[in-house]
A = this chain, B = another copy of it.
Amino acid sequence: MNSPANITDPLVLFMPSGKRGRFPIGTPVLDAARQLGVYVESVCGGRATCGRCQIEVQEGNFAKHKIVSSNDHISPKGPKEERYERVRGLPEGRRLSCSATIQGDLVVDVPQDTVINAQTIRKAATDRAIERNAAVQMCYVEVDEPDMHKPLGDLDRLKAVLAKDWGWKDLRVAQHLIPEVQKILRKEKWAVTATIHKDMEFSRATLIALYPGLKNEAYGVACDIGSTTIAMHLVSLLSGRIVASAGAPNPQIRFGEDVMSRVSYVMMNPDGREAMTKAVREAVNGLIGEVCEQGGVDRNDIFDSVFVCNPIMHHLFLGIDPTELGQAPFALAVSSAVQGWTHDIGIEVNRGARFYLLPCIAGHVGADAAGAALSEGPHRQDKMMLLVDVGTNAEIVLGNRNHVVAASSPTGPAFEGAEISSGQRAAPGAIERVRIDPETLEPKYRVIGVDKWSDEDGFEEAAKATGVTGICGSAIIEVVAEMYLSGLISEDGVVDGALSARTHRIIENGRTFSYLLRDGEPRITVTQNDIRAIQLAKAALYAGIKLLMEKQNITGVDTIRFAGAFGSFIDPKYAMVLGLIPDCDLSEVKAVGNAAGTGALMALLNRDHRREIEREVSRIEKIETALEPDFQQLFINAMALPNKVDPFPRLSEQVTLPPRSAVSEEGGSVESAAPRRRSREERAARRGRS
């Protein structure tokens, strides 16, 4: 429509994408955005009625043009835009880009309402905007009435105007819509809004829903199906706003606490797979109901959904028998991204809605790890980034824009408090912080649900409600690290029995010694076996990291991201003291919360992120620790506190690798932005349930 751009034409820069181009004076800003591939929403197709194409003009002066106020560089509001402002209201500084035309150089800010912030990531270092390019678009059109001279079907004329007004050529039509089209077209005198899904297999656009008149809402859900917890965001696909978030326990827990026990359940019970598939789908449907109620949204207005999960959850959710994942060679039924109709997997949203599951990286490194990789983006960095998500297995991703490697390592459940004499899940009453005075060897600790440290006045009174019930994962790390720092244990992890002369807290326990952390009811000790369990777990994690560092041919990493719930609660300093992670500037060690869920959100809001992670997953070098001849030696070396470079002969005789079990059973959880105390209680409550 516009004549070709000329060097004397105004220059327009779109933010935050940074895309720029020259356009003749009089070009609508929306047209300029489209020509540059800048995604600006519009439902009404330039009729100035939907209000979705709002932009802000930040400034308007570049080199060759005279410096003038930006008001001169954009057309004044015309009658259509003024009518919209009068009827619907327009925030200060906002313009409708379909109506505002370019009159001079412009910097155009496209508001990105989705910000990854405290609402989605706990302890987020930076707020990040996700640029929107959702797979769903709402397109208002006015269809030609039937004409006996040109007897094209109603649907065919609808397709013709969608091609003419919106450029949708060769549009597919969801089969279930065909019997509905005629009635819908006639309800509002041939004016309809078509819901187009642009991310079907191979980017074929498809008509998935149709509404009479102008329909100005479209939603999607991003969901992380963890073994323990299922977390979900409900998002407006038109504004990018997170409308509601919720979490719920994974009801599959009744079939088995961890993923491997669920695989066993399938192997032992003929209906086991079906029962677990049904359970997880019901839970997802329940959560959809919850976020819809929170957000005041009709579940039929949900048109798209993105899921992340570990490989076994992935298979069970899709109705695939996970038995193969329970035994070598841990063959995934499908590793690439899976998409389809939500209807076909029993998810109850709009009948035409689609689902997208991120690709799995390997048999033990699932779509959740892919989601975390998408969120943190080692492949987008110059820095060498280490991304770890610790659960029963640790998923480890290491790399930068040149090369990324990934592996899982069998850490076992010690970090989660299992296999520890006084271990427990994080819940009110669990010790979560520990300090030991290196002089007196006396401990102090904090308990979930209690604000005071144990050596402060009134602690016992404050702890009456919860009691002091055990040690959770983060405190296990700290107590072992503090014991090492205070000399209670040696580099090889042996509790120094000689110190029983200096303190009553060293207790003889058969042939080994324990450390008395709390002499109350219950009595809480850290035994030699506890320390061994932590050593094994941390050695497995560190050996996995070290193996990937060898693959990358590096001796240090630039930046570290701890994903998942465990990562959110451990203190990076203690992780480093204990040798869970390689040395790194502490300011570069960050907990990123449910990064997998954030990755799902990114893939929901911008389909370019789907292509990005599909490409990256195919590029990632997958390392299977069990097949690596070096891994055993690295594991043995990593038993020391902190890690040794050379073999540790004494230990090598005593230890064996923990058996290969399965992928992380840690699903992420959605943390609210409520004050710390409240969020801790919520978290505790959630963990208590699982």
Q: Which residues of A contact B (CB under 8 A)?
A: 145-156, 170, 172-173, 175-176, 178-179, 181-183, 201-202, 204, 318-321, 324, 328-336, 338, 340-341, 344-345, 360-363, 622, 624, 626-627
Contact = CB atoms under 8 A, between A and B. Distances in A.
Contacts of A622: 149-151
A336 B624 contact: no
Contacts of A151: 330-332, 335, 361-363, 622, 624
Contacts of A360: 153
Copies of chain A in the complex = 2
Given A155-B333, A331-B154, A626 B148 contact: yes
Given A145-B329, A154-B332, A182-B320, 12 more contacts: A146-B330, A148-B624, A150-B622, A151-B335, A151-B362, A153-B332, A154-B331, A156-B336, A173-B334, A178-B338, A179-B320, A204-B204
B148 A329 contact: yes
A331 B204 contact: no
Contacts of A362: 151
Nearest to A174: B340
Nearest to A355: B175
Contacts of A154: 324, 331-334
A148 B363 contact: yes
24 contacts: A148-B328, A151-B361, A153-B332, A153-B333, A153-B335, A153-B360, A154-B324, A154-B331, A154-B333, A154-B334, A155-B333, A156-B335, A156-B336, A173-B334, A176-B344, A178-B320, A179-B318, A179-B320, A181-B334, A182-B320, A182-B324, A182-B331, A183-B321, A202-B204
Nearest to A339: B175
A91 to B, nearest CB: 42
Contact of A204 (B148, B201, B334): B201
Contacts of A183: 321
Given A153-B360, A201-B204, A329-B146, A321 B624 contact: no
Nearest to A146: B331
Residue with the highest number of chain B CB atoms closer than 10 Å, among A148, A344, A622: A148
4 smallest beta-carbon distances between A and B, as pairs: A153-B335, A151-B362, A146-B331, A153-B332
B156 A319 contact: no
